[in-house]
Amino acid sequence: MKTVKISRYIALTAAVIVLAGCQGFFDNNAPSSVTPENVFSNPTLTEQSIAAVYEVFGEDRGYRNRLTCGYVGLNTDIEYNRKSSNEYAIYQTKTTNTDLSNAKGNDPWGYLNIIIERCNNIVDGIDKYGVKSDSLTAAKYDYMKGEALFLRSFALLEMVKYWGDVPVNVKSYDGYSLDEVTQGKVDRNVAFEQIRTDLKLAAELMEWSGNAQLPAARNDVRRASKASALALLARADLMYAGKAVRPTQLVAGNKDYEITFNVADADKRYELYQEVMWACDSIIRNEDSKLLDDYAQIFKNICQDKTNYAEMEHIWVLPLADGARGQVMNYNCAKFNSNSSTSAGDITMGVLLHNIKYGESVGSNFIMAMVPTLLFDYEDGDVRREVTVLPYKWNVTTSGTIDATLPRAQKSKMCLYPRIQQDASQWACGKYRIEWMSRDNVNADDGIDFPVIRYSDVLLMFAEASIGSLDNTTVTPLFPTLYTGQQCFDKVRERADVGTKTLTLEAIQEERKLEFAGEYIRKWDLMRWGILKEALMNARERLDDLRENHEAHVLYFKYKEDNSYLQAGAKDYTGADVVRGYVIEEVYGMRLDETDTPTGDRWLSGKCKFMEKLVDTDYILYDYSDPESINSHQYWPIFSTIIGASNGILFNNYGY
């Protein structure tokens, strides 16, 4: 055990200057000397050690293709994982799941702990060896320490989200005291308090993104900033003040659990709500213009590799940009495959085809689909509906001419035309679209950044805290705020082109559902409100009701006349002219009292037989062998290979 732990420390110390594979900050050359004093007495080498933390995000079975791609955050009442083999998404995860953990050590638990350990090295290294010779150098060291504290807090909060009670270790291993790196699980409130302490200090140490003293971090949405530290603090505090599935005793062998507040003391919860409002108000005062007018543009920016913080609604994104390893688009956009036949006509499962004669060979896994009842929840005129739910699929045109001098990416997209997706159980999330990319998607590692938190979340967290969330009591701020909770709530709704609504917990729960659908936020919201199982079972009942009472219900789609991705003379598989672009203008049949058949040139001739495919055997979200596991298996187990290597220190609860 001792040899293994010391070897691991040596490897981590050497890895402190391993660098990520993006541009600029993310692709410097490693220095030859890796002693802590040499690294952390040099601001340039210290910043390279920060890059070594970001490097972990791109590792296999980490954020590259596990922690960002349907393995967590699904299933919910509005999103589901359409891969029937994904036991982790139907709350049937096994401790022996080799898709998430194996003896080689490349697994989410290991990578998150590596992030924490590397951040520990940086924080301690700066404190011990940082030479703040002048005010500018001091500001750089402060920013880097704040960034390390932020990244450590992010990783620790992720572990709480996935496993509940976890070890909390915030000291770098000194090579002598093994006790410091062999800690067992502690009550998650210990983690929450550590996160609060670290993020408040990080917010003090870092500037707003546009003022960052580190040139590589300035105005880069992929780098931490004061705003990201404050936003993550608000998110953590709402989880801390909320409910959770908790073991009745944190001991090995205990299977009993309850859904209860993390904090029993109502006064303590009130303190947390105050802190949420303070953190969010601080961001709002500095960045009040960050809410974009165009809801679709939020996600186009991500698909187009935008990183300019000032132009984006996002406050922080996990960096997997062009050139890095990451499969966000691969797992979350509508399915497409360049190797499918183009002669069959009806291409199933939302397949998007690139014309093979242009040398395309790409595909996607299409993990996340939207629960189609979500369409009925949007109010009339809500612009978020057509952005969020993608009820069409792609076909390739069979004829037509393309200008050979056009860029390859444009030529490949001009081979496409949309067709209605008649199978409503296969509707993709529209926030991640291949046609929005500004470059080719040439393989599974598309390198699209993973969105983590954006400004509208800050507004809604402030609004929720102002009504005391689950405590349902008005929280009077102890400081002047720029807006009231109602005003923050209204700002989000006004951007969606819907009217004002009285601010209540139920209204917040509904608004967060509509605003963040498909962004891997809903499950954690439902968990902290203590209603995950309730929401899932309600969704099932809604679908059952629709099956029984509205079997003939259909949806019709009309597209805008936007043919920018269609070549001249394009023909569909029947030989008819392709005249419609891919942009949705209107969906008819969204209300159960809409029964007339719409007419007009731009309505799709096909129609979606809404209930046709929504049977239990085909719809994995509602095929639970044991609905009780929705509660007992909200968290992952600590996997067997990890427990086996812990020398008896780690254990599982919840009956795993």
Q: Residue 607: its pLDDT value, please?
A: 61
Question: Is 0.75 topped by the overall pTM?
Answer: yes
Does residue 352 register a pLDDT over 70? no
Distance (Å, rounded) from C-alpha 73 to C-alpha 519?
A: 9
Q: Residue 29: its pLDDT value, please?
A: 46
384 vs 363: which has the higher pLDDT? 384
Q: Residue 123: its pLDDT value, please?
A: 98
pLDDT in tens, 550-564: 555 677 777 666 555
Q: Residue 13: its pLDDT value, please?
A: 40
Q: How many CB atoms lie within 10 A of CB 93?
A: 21
Q: Can you give the three-state secondary structure of 588-618, one letter per residue?
A: ECCCCCCCCCCCCCCECCCCEECCCCCCCCC
376 vs 298: which has the higher pLDDT? 298
Mean per-residue pLDDT of the chain: 82
Q: What's the burial of 190, exposed, middle or buried (CB within 10 Å: 0-12/13-18/19+)? A: middle
Average pLDDT over residues 418-429: 75
Domain parsing of the chain, residue ranges: 328-364+366-443+554-609
Highest mean pLDDT among 6-10, 67-71, 504-508: 504-508
Give the range among 113-117, 223-227, 265-269, 417-421 with minimum mean pLDDT.
417-421
Query: Can you list the positions of beta strands (E) in 333-432?
Result: 368-370, 389-390, 392-396, 399-401, 416-420, 428-429
Does residue 597 register a pLDDT over 80? no
Q: Residue 254: its pLDDT value, please?
A: 95
The answer to whether the beta carbons of residues 436 and 448 sit under 8 Å apart is: no
pLDDT in tens, 158-187: 999 999 999 999 988 776 666 666 689 999
The answer to whether the beta carbons of residues 142 and 203 sit under 8 Å apart is: no
Average pLDDT over residues 386-405: 69
Q: Which two tokens stand for residue 301?
A: 């920016």
* CA angle at 647 for the pair 107 and 124, rounded to the nearest 5°: 65
